[in-house]
Amino acid sequence: MSDELYQEITLPTGLTFKQPIGLFINNEWIKSDSKFETLNPSTEEPIISVYEAGVKEVDLAVEAARNAQKEWRKVNPDDKGKMLLKLADLLEAKTDLFSQLEALDSGKPVESNAKADIFAVADYLRYCAGWADKIHGKMIPLAYNRFAITKRYPLVVGQIVPWNYPLSMSSWKFCPALACGCSIVIKSSEMTPLSLLLFADLVKEAGFHPGVFNVISGFGKIAGQHLAEHTGLDKIAFTGSTATGTKIMQSASSNLKSLSLECGGKSPLLVFDDADLEQAAKWASFGIMYNSGQNCTANSRVLVQESVYDKFLELFKKQVIEDWIVGDPFDKDVTLGPLINKAQYDKVKSYIGKGKAEGATLVLGDKDFKFPSKGYFVAPHIFGDCTQKMAIVQEEIFGPVVAVSKFKTEEEGVANANDTIYGLAAMLFSKDFERAHRVADLLDAGSVYINSSNDEDHKVPFGGFKMSGIGRELGENAIDLYTQTKSIYCNVGSKL
């Protein structure tokens, strides 16, 4: 362990550890020519500087992954599964460290948010470990003396992950990829690089071969773009904004590599007149304010049937006030932390200004909450009486801001819900079984939640319609993302 490539950090709880700051390539920590700083969004103060990957370092990582694939693909699937299980155990044993580090780096509250993220990563590692020896091909009979078989082969993969769930969203990519026998180059967000770097040491400890799992920290315009266009990769997987996703798609065309994208969202939550309004208010509150609204599936639009609009809005406001305590992520009672940085803070504030200027009614806002004077904190905001053309209804805000509007008929509610360029998720509340499933079929979204919001499970496929992405992560579909199929024709005998 080179002291130059680790730096000691003492967390607000008093927990002290050594944080890797290098680039993890071929199971070794290396330096680059430059560093960048990561900031604590709760205090606006620097945490640490880490080494930045440029074009040269991306090339080194891809070369390491490419070379590792030659032997890694030959490893017994049972052994791959055991490594994933060991990795899950190693991570779970350090839940406190990882959750506190993510609270420091991203601002998510430790007890109500960050710990759940770390537990979810361990659970998904175990789920994917079970897939490692079940990635089967098929036998297809063609004639009495002729058949075909299919085999599934792993890929050399580049993965670009977001800042809002630093390790959790990364796991949606690296867990199935490792189970499939892929070798990986994964780039963290420059805003939250620390937990993925720390995790890399656990990957090495779990026994994964050099070059199988490479972690680079860097910026999208340099490291991300070069990774996406790199002809040494067979696939690129990306989670982030729709605008960046379109650029990734263009870059990936350099060698027509396989592509999966999970992009933005503006998810509607419909409340029908026969819904359990108290439960709808609770789920709507959770679905928009969790993780400070920095969630691509957040139900940032709530559409309420007009006969129950006033009652729901009253319950919703009350629920949000009860649920969300804004403040220091290390305070065990806090449930809503800061936004990630100044740019995001300014963006969310600008949308709050737009909502007021466009004539929406401010039902709940800053004056209703107490929060620190320093840090990128924005209190929960509810806007009522919203219309379809408002910016806060059409555009992704990515903060604790929700637009509530009315609809008269089921047809109008569905039409307004689908009136968006996005299609990642949708939610609906109704006690009428027939209506609930009829509406679920009509909503243009990759995931539809009936009488709940944002309670996805790693066993269920996840992805978007329209401008929200391409491909499906999680569940069995994730295995399809990280393998390619070869067809082999077998002639029993050699006669034509």
The residues near 350 (Cβ < 8 Å, ≥ 6 apart) are none
What tokens were used for 385? Answer: 């009486």
Query: How wide is the angle at C-alpha 346 spanned by C-alphas 341 and 347, nearest 5°?
Result: 100
**402 vs 359: CA distance, rounded Å:** 15
**170 vs 160: CA distance, rounded Å:** 8
Nearest C-alpha neighbor of 462 from the set 450, 439, 478 = 478
The answer to whether 295 and 454 are in contact (CB under 8 A) is: yes
How many residues are present in the chain? 496
E strand or H helix that includes residue 138: none
| Of 52, 190, 229, 262, catalytic | 262
Contacts 24+ apart (CB under 8 A), 310-317: 311/277, 312/271, 312/277, 312/280, 312/281, 313/363, 313/382, 313/384, 313/404, 315/277, 315/278, 315/280, 315/281, 316/281, 316/284, 316/285, 316/382, 316/404, 317/363, 317/364, 317/382
DSSP state of 31: -
Active site residue 57: no
The answer to whether 85 and 202 are in contact (CB under 8 A) is: no
**324 vs 335: CA distance, rounded Å:** 5
| Residue 369 buriedness (CB in 10 A; 0-12 / 13-18 / 19+) | buried
* Distance set, CA 289 to CA 260, 298, 303 (Å): 27, 8, 17
**Side-by-side strand order, sheet with 425-429:** 361-364, 381-384, 401-407, 301-305, 268-271, 425-429, 447-450
Q: Which positions are catalytic? A: 262
